[in-house]
Amino acid sequence: MPDAVLSPTLPAPEPPSLAHLIGQVAAIIGSENFPAGERAALKRLAPDRPPSLAFYRFCFQRRLPDGWQNKTGAWQTLLAGLALMGTPAHNPKRPLGQALAEHRYSEARLERLLAAQDDVLYTLTLRVARFLAAKGESVNWLDLAQLLLAQDRDKREAVRLKIAGDYYRHQNNEKD
């Protein structure tokens, strides 16, 4: 009797990168087909209040990465910020720091944002989203996502350096 032919076991699919995920989430929230009531509910998310059912529905139906429940405040902030900014909120070719410098976001505000942690960071991120929305700007939300979701101190510092570097490189170009 010949050996049974074993079908190869396929590896589990790789989870999408954070950059890809942020692009997908931004596209969903910014889509004309996304229900206006759901978008409005996401806009009302606040880190100092328990999440709404709209938040849970989005997270479970859109399949956020495993462990999102451990960073509920960060994901609430991300979804609320994207909803606040409207369409299009996310532009992967537009660094956050550059956009802030171009719109004369103050150094003091940037310093508070980059030094903040936890609930203060969530609140300041939503203020940045409102500021950029008022300017009609779209930015690379990966910068903010990495700042909000970084668990490791070195990764968080690398994101802060990137945002500050983009801010000051552009600010210096403006003064020349």
**Residues 156-168: tens digit of each pLDDT:** 999 999 999 999 9
Q: Could you say which architecture CATH assigns to the domain 18-175?
A: Orthogonal Bundle (1.10)
Residue environment code for 28-55, b if the CB has 16+ CB neighbours within 10 A, otherwise e: bbbeeebeeebbebbbebbbeeebeebb
Residue 10: the pLDDT is 54
Q: What is the pLDDT of residues 122-148, one digit of tens each?
A: 999 999 999 999 999 999 999 999 999
Domain ranges of the chain: 18-175
- Which residue matches tokens 């076991």? 9
Residue environment code for 126-150, b if the CB has 16+ CB neighbours within 10 A, otherwise e: bebbebbbeeebbbbbbbbbbbbbb
Model pTM score: 0.87
Instruction: Report the length, in residues, of the chain.
Output: 176
Q: How far is CA 105 from CA 42, 63, 123, in A?
A: 25, 34, 16
pLDDT category at 65 given cuts 50, 70, 90 is confident
Handedness of CA 60, 146, 26, 135 (dihedral sign): positive
